[in-house]
Amino acid sequence: MDFDAILDQAIALLQRRRRLTYGALKRQFQLDVAYLADLTAELIEGQRVASDEDGNVLVWVGAPAVPPATGLESCAPQSPAPYAPEAERRQLTVMFCDVVGSTTLSHQLDPEDLREVMQQYQQTCTMVIQRYDGYIAQHLGDGLLVYFGYPSAHEDDARRAIHVGLEIIATLRASPFQHRQLPTPLQVRIGIHTGLVVIGEIGNSEQREILALGETPNLAARIQGRANPDEVMISATTYRLVEGLFGCEDRGQPTLKGISTPLSLYRVVRENAAQSRFEAAVSKGLTPLVGREHGHVPNQ
């Protein structure tokens, strides 16, 4: 089913039900996180038939009414457009985190129990993300879109993102709600990519949000889709920024949906002992100096 067909069905479903969770929309059309983000953005911003509620629910608002032409529009005073901060171009490290098997979980748990589990999952992730100064851009059902490098940039944003991914997995594994009567342990897939974006406020007077536009968020979502349960998968670009700081396993160049250019991926296995990229370089051995023989004094 192509995007237009899914969009038409989503509009009809939302109009009929009036309210629809992101998770229900994701399961109904079997969407990945990136596709869900595109679809909800089209419903809210493109078609303007829905509004967002707490990052979890779409609410039907209907198509905006078009007033009849009177021929007097040019004479009517125009309200000034609300101020929107200028968009800016910057490098971000983007992380997508998504729950594994959420559709199966929704069939096996009572809705109230599922809501409680999802709340605890989101609270756990938020706690870890805030510790490393990450910015949660969107809650997409059981998925999270997180920026590192906005609104405050750090020289180690890529490293921070990977720390967050590893700690989310470790914290969820040790969380008390894992010991409840869950059919299977709650696991996540995490994808991380670093690249240029244009980031700024988009939306209308009723609903505004900060979003990064460009290829980077889409690639992070696609990389997340190639991770196994409880794995942090990163792109080659991010890997080069943290090389030596983490032990990584080369996963080759798997096919990424909708991406034609081959992209090398790495699974993060562990954090290394090195505290900086310089320490990591020293541990590997620095390149010897050339033309600096011991005791040699240049001619004066």
Which pLDDT tens digit goes with each residue over 86-135?
Answer: 788 999 999 999 999 888 888 888 888 888 888 889 999 999 999 999 99
How far apart CA 25 and CA 57 sit, in angstroms, is: 10
Check residue 48 and give its pLDDT.
82
- What would the mean pLDDT of 26-35 be, rounded to a whole number? 79
The conformational region for residue 242 under phi > 0 = left, psi -120 to 50 = alpha, else beta, is alpha
Q: What is the pLDDT of residues 227-281, one digit of tens each?
A: 999 999 999 999 999 999 999 999 999 888 878 788 999 999 999 976 655 565 5
Query: Where in the sequence is the domain holding 234, given as residue range(s)?
Result: 88-284
CATH of residue 134: 3.30.70.1230
How far apart CA 41 and CA 37 sit, in angstroms, is: 6
Average pLDDT taken over every residue of the chain: 81
Q: Hey, which residues does 96 pair with through a beta bridge?
A: 145, 191
In this structure, are residues 60 and 18 in contact, taking their beta carbons and an 8 Å threshold? yes
Residues 54 and 97 in one domain: no
Check residue 8 and give its pLDDT.
78
Total count of residues recorded for the chain: 300
Q: What tokens were used for 148?
A: 């590192």
Q: Domain tally for the chain?
A: 2
Q: Reply yes or no on whether the pLDDT at 69 is more than 50.
A: no
Cis geometry, peptide bond prior to residue 151 (ω within 30 degrees of 0): yes
Residues 122 and 265 in one domain: yes
Residues 164 and 49 in one domain: no
Residues 106 and 248 in one domain: yes
Q: Which residue has better confidence, 76 or 269?
A: 269
